[in-house]
Amino acid sequence: MKSTYAGGMQRSSGFVLAHTFRNLLLAVLFTSLIVGSRATAAVGAPASIETQAQATALIKTGLTTNSLKDLRSVLAADVWPDYGDCRLLRYTPLSTWLGPNACSFGATGSSSTMLLVGDSRAEILIGAMSAVGKQLGLKLVPLTMAGCWFNEPDEVPGPCKNYPKFVADEITQLKPKAVLVAGKFVGPTSLNSPPAKGLVAVLRSWAALGSPVVLLGNTPTVPLEPQACMAIHPSQLTKCTFSLSWSSNKWLDLKAIAKVSKVSYAPLSQVLCTTKCPMTINGIAAYVNAQHASPQVLEAMAKPIAAALKGTFATS
């Protein structure tokens, strides 16, 4: 999949200003970083990582890596995938969805489907789940809607309130082998908190339609803008590492939520962190911004992710 700049997504005016300031900062930092050096091609997608053991070893290496030979190219890889003619739902009416024939990945010729639903945290998994779909012989249909915290619809304006029903209608029509759910699931760990109760209600409603539902664990967020931190500390990248607990302490108890919702649960943070999280994995930036892990790194982790999904649904 080719890549385009992430800023093409619609955001609030505050986000746009913050992102513009960040870009100006990075431009200055890039200039100071590369003065006197030759321009080089941007780093491509990392090689496929075969096992969780290999992933863990690469994470540990990243935690002790202080510098990279071509940091400029790593920083230039701050990209968001372009999914071609697939019109994902990004702050747009649900009626703009063109259907699974116009937007599918994985084993596209298969009659068996796997849905990926949720906000931009689900969208960054499209490449990874496409690779998983190819492994399992399933067509991946993404129904992602960036910015939609569907377990707290009153917090988000626009069509998000109707998103759970939209997904339910697609589940009913497509009868997928699995419904994979990811999102920005943060809040108190109590199952009685509004975001937890909202998530349980939605998961139960989807599971009642007959297809297996799998709640995916959160991917980490970062204390500081990762590319800015790496540009500031090009020879001391370990200053940019952070504790997984910094992020996980903000998460809902998704394993418990899955249990009470009677759906499966598959963790994901292990493909990016041990108890600590590096800024780079296998020489590639692990995050595109403070809120999102790198879609390219996640795609490289497709086999460890498939292993985490093992047993959560039947493929035949």
**Maximal C-alpha separation, the chain:** 62
Model pTM score: 0.85
Q: Is residue 193 part of a domain?
A: yes
Q: What mean pLDDT value characterizes the chain?
A: 83
The residue behind tokens 């809607």 is 145
Q: Is residue 173 part of a domain?
A: yes
Q: Is residue 79 part of a domain?
A: yes
Give me the torsion for CA of 255, 141, 88, 188, rounded to 10°: -10
Q: Is residue 15 part of a domain?
A: no
Mean pLDDT of 308-316: 89
pLDDT tens-digit profile of 174-223?
A: 999 999 999 999 999 999 999 999 999 999 999 999 999 999 999 999 99
Domain total in the chain: 1
**Strand 280-281 to strand 264-266: parallel, antiparallel, or no bridges (unpaired)?**
unpaired
Q: What is the CATH number of the domain that holds 65?
A: 3.40.50.1110
DSSP string, 147-171: T--TTSGGGS-GGGGGHHHHHHHHH
Task: Band the pLDDT of 102: cuts 50, 70, 90.
Answer: confident
* Pair 253, 215: CB distance under 8 Å: no
Residue 73 pLDDT? 66
pLDDT tens-digit profile of 26-47?
A: 444 444 443 333 332 233 456 8
Is 50 strand, coil or helix?
Answer: coil
Residue 177 pLDDT? 96
Nearest one of 120, 110, 185 to 141, comparing CA atoms: 110
Residue 156 pLDDT? 64
Task: Band the pLDDT of 17: cuts 50, 70, 90.
Answer: very low
Q: Is residue 243 part of a domain?
A: yes
| Tokens, residue 16 | 């746009």
98 pLDDT above the threshold of 60: yes
Q: Is residue 122 part of a domain?
A: yes
Residue 153 pLDDT? 64
Residue 77 pLDDT? 58
Mean pLDDT of 12-20: 44
Is 54 strand, coil or helix?
Answer: helix
Q: Is residue 16 part of a domain?
A: no
Is 14 strand, coil or helix?
Answer: helix
| Full domain range(s) for residue 55 | 46-309
Q: Is residue 31 part of a domain?
A: no
Q: What are phi and psi of 116, to 5 degrees?
A: -120, 115
pLDDT tens-digit profile of 57-71?
A: 999 999 999 988 777
| Tokens, residue 187 | 């809040």
- Type and span of the H or E element at 140: strand 139-146
